Structures are given as structure tokens and as C-alpha cells.
Amino acid sequence: MIVELKHYILGLIMKVPFHFVRNIFINPFLGHRGDNVELCKDVEIRIPGNIYIGNNTTINKDTLLDGRGGKIIIGNCVDIAQEVRIWTLQHDYNSTDYKAVGNDVKIEDYAWIASRCTILPGVRIGKGAVVATGAVVTKDVLDYTVVGGIPARKIGVRNRDLTYKLVRVFSLMFRKTSFKTPEILIKTRA
């Protein structure tokens, strides 16, 4: 009963349209939340104490972080796109009693998980790796490797000179910048 109530309350918190309000209420529940983390609206978090998120990381809307079967450890500068499913618990389809089995998932720094991917328990996504849209990851992904498909297989290699930091969208709205409107837009408006 308490677990269901906690899950329900977390669901309500993650529907709040204001990032800073979600952070105030979700931070105490997470295992760890680094600096400059964007947890977008409607992220579903199961067992938040098993979720560890590094700095400068974005987790987009409608993503599921399932911490029921182990920890989800997300590094720094990780981009998780919308509608991603990260599972730490699944059923053993060969078990006579349909036993649930769990394992940790680790996503290293600078990884990019594109939209609608599924990552299964026990998987490690390497540093700088990219998981293409719609992929189902059943095995570890090596550093700086691009994978795609069902099941995910290597389809490319990524540049190793990554230095970017992801910034929260909310902070961009209030940032002082020297951005100038491109000439083409000025002419179009006239």
C-alpha cells in the first residue's frame, strides 16, 4: 500500500509543468542527482532511491526509469531522449514459475540514448556510445560505438573528442547572451 501511494505521488510530481517545482519534490527521493540535471515532465521513476544521475544530464519526457530490480547509474553529460524505457527487472521466460530477475544498468558519460529505445537489465552503455532510435539493447555497448536495431548491433563509431555539456532548457530562457538574430529572419519580419 505504501509503495503504491509513493509511486502515485511521484507520478503526480512528475506531471507538474514547472521544472524547479519537480526538482524540489523529487530530489530527496533519488539515490543521487547531480548538478544541472533536466528531468522533463512525465518521466516515470520506479524506486527512485535506486536512480543515480550525474551532472549536465537530460532525461526527456515520457521516459521510464525502472529501479525495481537494481540500480540505474547515469553518468555526466548523458542525453536520454523521449519515450526511452530503461528496465532493471524482467521475467525469466524459461523459469517454470515465471521468476523475476533483476540487474543494474549503467550508462556512461556522454552517451546518447535516442527516442523510443529499450535498455534491458544488466546492460552497460559505454562512454560516448549512441543508441539509435527504436533500438532494443540486450547486451553491453562498447565506448564510442553507435548501435541500432532489434536486437541492437554496431552500425557505426562516434567521435571521441566530446567536450559538450548539456544545459537545462529552463536555464536557457534566462541566460544573458550575445545571440544575434540572423539576417534572414530580420528580412523576413520586415
For the CA atoms of 8, 101, 149, 83, the dihedral, rounded to the nearest 10 degrees, stands at: 10
- Is 60:82 a contact under the CB 8 Å cutoff? yes
Report whether pLDDT(163) > 80. yes
Confidence of residue 186 (pLDDT cuts 50, 70, 90): very low
Report whether pLDDT(176) > 70. no
Residue positions annotated with a catalytic role: 91
Spatial separation of the C-alpha atoms in residues 24 and 4, rounded to whole Å: 21
Residue-wise pLDDT tens digits, 71-95: 999 999 999 999 999 999 999 999 9
Q: What is the pLDDT of residue 7?
A: 75
- Is 97:103 a contact under the CB 8 Å cutoff? no
Per-residue buried b or exposed e for 165-184, using 16+ beta carbons within 10 Å of the residue's own CB: ebebeeeeeeeeeeeeeeee
pLDDT: which is higher, 64 or 186:
64
pLDDT: which is higher, 25 or 76:
76
- Range from 119-128, 143-152, 175-184 carrying the lowest mean pLDDT: 175-184
Q: What is the pLDDT of residue 73?
A: 98
Distant-in-sequence contacts of 169-174, Cβ < 8 A, 24+ apart = 169/19, 169/38, 170/19, 170/20, 170/38, 171/36
Confidence of residue 169 (pLDDT cuts 50, 70, 90): low
pLDDT: which is higher, 23 or 86:
86
Cα dihedral 66, 102, 129, 30 sign: positive
